Amino acid sequence: MKIYKTKDYDAMSRKAADIISAQIIMKPNCVLGLATGSTPVGAYRQLVEWYNQGVLDFSEVTTVNLDEYKGLPRDNDQSYYYFMNEHLFKKVNIDKSRTFLPDGMEADSETACRTYNEIIHATGGVDLQLLGLGHNGHIGFNEPDTSYAKETHCVTLSERTIQANMRFFASEQDVPRQAYTMGIKTIMSARSILVVVSGEDKAEIVKTAFFGPVTPQVPASILQFHSNVTLVADEGALSQCPALFHSAK
């Protein structure tokens, strides 16, 4: 695992965008696995800026997102489709027909998961998978468990994740209780993985996930077994970790 330490969130975002843009430039028809949440917003903002400067071309890129809430229509401003459209897709020249997320409005979980697995397999595999890191070690919506889920599956969200997501909704009752998410096997099948983490409140889980034992109770810990993982985190997030990282501006 390669670890880059940045001064703050903005520097973290720029370094992450550097890595994503390099993937696009090296392989214009690459498959990007994308993530939502507050952490990658800065990286998406930087990618849009470089696109506007003529540095990046998204016209051949295919994307597959990690997850989507079950029961939220795409036009709901808290759906991940809406998030991706607002922060990236509508601001660059990406072909919308090659941007994929699980179908949150498919009520039958088996159908939704099977369909999304087929979509991911049809892309030929993810070249670069972007991940955030939850306070309990979840990646995507793969929550702490006794075993690792393999492919796309329906998850009942933990109370901690529901509480963390409350800030995006009018009330706790509005927070979805289930989501469709890529499984650990799918994530680990990506050719390369980029993890972005910011803030001292994530310091303990960063240490646990990347320097502790590998266990499904800390889903992100499985990334220790991947051959090509890059962690980009700011000073706060790395404050409890051994000094085994590169400095990045």
Which residues neighbour 51 within 8 Å (Cβ) at sequence distance 6 or greater?
57, 58, 91, 92, 93
Q: How many whole angstroms separate alpha carbon 27 and alpha carbon 214?
A: 32
**3-class secondary structure, 59:** coil
- pLDDT in the model for residue 245: 59
**Residue 162 — φ and ψ, nearest 5°?**
-60, -45
Q: Give first-to-last CA distance, the chain, whole Å.
A: 19
- pLDDT in the model for residue 80: 95
- pLDDT in the model for residue 75: 93
Q: Parallel, antiparallel, or unpaired: how do β-strands 2-6 and 246-247 relate?
A: parallel
Query: Which residues are designated catalytic?
Result: 67, 136, 138, 143
Q: How many residues does the structure list for the chain?
A: 249
In this structure, the number of other CB atoms found within 10 A of the CB of residue 30 comes to 19
Q: How many whole angstroms separate alpha carbon 46 and alpha carbon 17?
A: 6
- pLDDT in the model for residue 248: 64
Q: In what order do the strands lie in the sheet with 153-156?
A: 67-69, 178-181, 153-156
Query: Which helix H or strand E contains 21, and what residues bound it?
Result: helix 9-26
Q: Mutual orientation of helices 80-87 and 41-52 as an angle, nearest 10°?
A: 40
Q: C-alpha angle with apex 165: 128 to 139, nearest 5 degrees?
A: 30
Q: How many whole angstroms separate alpha carbon 80 and alpha carbon 165?
A: 13
Q: What range defines the domain where residue 226 resides?
A: 2-247
Dump strand ranges (E) for 112-235: 128-131, 153-156, 178-181, 192-197, 229-234
**3-class secondary structure, 64:** strand
- pLDDT in the model for residue 249: 58
Amino acid at 172: E
- Tokens 């993985």 sit at which residue? 193
Number of domains comprising the chain: 1
What's the CATH number where 152 sits? 3.40.50.1360
The tens place of each residue's pLDDT in the chain, 249 residues long, gives 999 999 999 999 999 999 999 999 999 999 999 999 999 999 999 999 999 999 999 999 999 999 999 999 999 999 999 999 999 999 999 999 999 999 999 999 999 999 999 999 999 999 999 999 999 999 999 999 999 989 999 999 888 778 887 888 888 888 899 999 999 999 999 999 999 999 999 999 999 999 999 999 999 999 999 999 999 999 999 999 976 656 665
